[in-house]
Amino acid sequence: MAIVNVTLADTFDQWRVKTNSMGTQTGDLTSLATTDKTSIVAAINEIFNNDSDDMENLVDDTTPQLGGQLDLNNNNITGTGSINITGAASFGGSVTTSGLISVSNADISITPHGSGKTTVTGLKLVDNMDLNGQSISGTGSIAASITGVTQSPSDNSTKLATTAYVDAQVATENTLVEMDDVTITTPTNNQTLVYNAATSKWVNTTASTGATEAFAVGMAIALG
């Protein structure tokens, strides 16, 4: 609506025309779409109180967009639903959830700040854990029921070694001939093991039990 200026220099007729134009530019109140047509103020108040698009509450906008940082002002975001973001999420406090934390075909990396440590309480693995060349160290114990493919005789692999397997392996090394540095060939009574430096083996040998004939003759001559 254009501004209408009425000055002291205006004639009465000029004043009349300008004053009438003010009403014309304002419009006929009866043409308002509001129920209350008693005044412009009443009509505006009716629109304000009944219009759901005046953003009295955030729920009035079904697709709100932030034009800047959202300051919670020491308040919380609560409710039932999901928070979906593309990018990084930084938290200066604790993160508590009663549901799952999942990402789409990507790793979940937990990196403590500075010299901090990652503490996980009530850890339960549902798949294989890859140590990635690292070690599990500390003071405590690891208690678990381990199942897997067990060892069999002569199987030098990383399969599980059960008590039965260990007993069977020990049972195969219960005699001298089974020792790696012992070679026994047709053993007889009263034989002894003699070390052979050339072969680095202990071998069975029959020890001399008396003097040779030449030795006995020599001793007889010497003794008269």
Domain that holds residue 216: 177-223
* Final residue before a domain boundary, out of 21, 39, 56: 56
* Final residue before a domain boundary, out of 56, 73, 103: 56
What pLDDT, on a 0 to 100 scale, did the predictor assign at position 154? 64
- Say if residues 170 and 153 touch (Cβ distance below 8 Å): no
* Final residue before a domain boundary, out of 56, 72, 87: 56
SS (H, E, C) 11-22: CHHHHHHHHHHH
For the chain, 224 residues long, the average pLDDT of each consecutive 10-residue run is 77 83 69 82 81 64 84 89 82 80 79 84 82 85 73 67 72 78 90 91 81 67 70
What pLDDT, on a 0 to 100 scale, did the predictor assign at position 101? 79
Number of domains observed in the structure of the chain: 2
Give the amino acid at 90. Answer: S
Classify residue 94: in a domain, yes or no.
Answer: no
Classify residue 201: in a domain, yes or no.
Answer: yes
What pLDDT, on a 0 to 100 scale, did the predictor assign at position 73? 92
- Say if residues 1 and 25 touch (Cβ distance below 8 Å): yes
